[in-house]
Amino acid sequence: MSADFKIIPIDVSGVNSDTEGEVVDIYVKEGSPVHKGQVVARMIDAENEGKAVDTAGQLERAQRELEDLLNGTRPELIAEQERQIELKKVELKNIHNNKEQLSELRETLAGRQAKLEQAQKDLTRAKRMLEGGLIPTKDFEATENAETVNTNSVQEIEAKIRAYTEKEKNDADAMEKDLAVAESRLASMKAGSRPGEIQRAEAEVARLTKNLEFLTRELKKTDLIAKINGTVTTPFVERKRGTHLDPGQELMQVVDSSSVVAILMVPQKEWEDVQLGNKVLMKFDSFPSRVFEGTVDYVEPAALAGNGQQVVPVRSVIPNKDGILKVVMPKREEIKPKQIRVSVT
């Protein structure tokens, strides 16, 4: 008995995104062999990456605080904290005492204000003389320009003084806050650990650990994984770098053709001769001296119309370790191979 057939891969799998993001790395190309579980591409999730970094830092600090509470504060740690407080006090004093630059600015301002006052008097006198016809217009304009230059000069120094004073205040406020935190921590270190504090610290460590584990799982979703052993069949997949993917969207396709599935179209009149376990022998025009062997492992329960007759689809798996048999993708089953004869015994 002979039958028409077509060859399809034993398995086809899409490499899909589990989350939303932008593809930043693609490690394979069309024809690349891949194995199940291999990372074939990677996306970036900037929001969760930033959260993971922040959470990791918070967790590290919380673990240190819990360790201090559990171990108690050692004398050398208290001494170091006291030293840090003294250094902060010195810095705060220096901020308030560093008046030299401000004093120089104020001296400069006084000199420029004196020049401005004189320029304003000269301008008032020049205006009266101009009205009386005693000086030409160009002399008045020169006096007026001198007054404008001196006014701008004074305003420039006043702006510098304001900026310097504001910076001094901001620096002092920030240092005072740091000092208050340091003094509060020193008081806690000297007071020793209370059970409630340890419980709160343990709860915070547990919370941050859970958050970091969640973020780590989310970031793992940015690794695009091959789900089967096979070969990449997507043309120019490397050009998809920079593509935005939504959850579930396919980036590439992997085909396993280490074995192939032969779909045999057995005429209905010969259906009774086909049974599970029957040997299947196939020959191709391309390989006239080679016989490919398999066994029937599935018989379709209903007949289909094909080539003017009723046919029954029968399936057989054929080993294809050397990849010599080329498959027709399932979505293109209408394409037939050159050799379409098979023997079923």
Phi, psi of 107 (to 5 degrees): -65, -45
298: tokens are: 């599935």
Alpha-carbon torsion, ordered 168, 169, 174, 177, to 10 deg: 130
CA pair distance 223, 17, nearest whole angstrom:
8
| 334 has pLDDT over 50 | no
182: tokens are: 């340091």
Residues 279-333: tens digit of each pLDDT: 888 877 778 888 888 888 888 887 788 667 788 888 888 888 887 887 766 553 3
| 144 has pLDDT over 60 | yes
Average pLDDT of 144-164? 85
Find the distance separating the first CA and the last CA of the chain, reported in whole Å: 7
CB atoms within 10 A of CB 181: 11
CA distances from 58 to 1, 55, 149, 168, 194 (A): 74, 5, 55, 31, 22
What's the half-sphere exposure (Cβ side, CA atoms, 13 Å) at 157?
A: 19
**Sign of torsion over alpha carbons 144, 148, 154, 157:** negative
Average pLDDT of 180-187? 82
Average pLDDT of 200-210? 91
Residues 243-288: tens digit of each pLDDT: 998 889 999 999 998 888 888 888 877 777 788 888 888 877 778 8
| 168 has pLDDT over 80 | no
In this prediction, residue 186 has a pLDDT band, given cuts at 50, 70 and 90, of: confident
71 sits in which H/E element: helix 46-71
**Helical axes 137-191 vs 75-97, angle rounded to 10°:** 160
33: tokens are: 């062999």
Specify the pLDDT at position 283. 79
Q: Comparing C-alpha atoms, which of 101, 77, 81 is closest to residue 89?
A: 81
List own/partner pairs for 106-110 with CB under 8 A and 24 or more apart.
106/161, 108/157, 109/154, 109/157, 109/158, 109/161
Coil, strand or helix at 41: strand
In this prediction, residue 337 has a pLDDT band, given cuts at 50, 70 and 90, of: very low
Identify the bridge partners of residue 13 per DSSP, sorted by sequence position: 254
Burial track 37-68 (b if 16+ CB lie within 10 A, e otherwise): ebebbebebeebeebbeebeebbeebeebbeb
Which of 17-31, 68-82, 309-323 shows the lowest per-residue confidence on average (mean pLDDT)?
A: 68-82
Q: Which of 93-107, 170-184, 222-236, 308-322 has the highest mean pLDDT?
A: 222-236
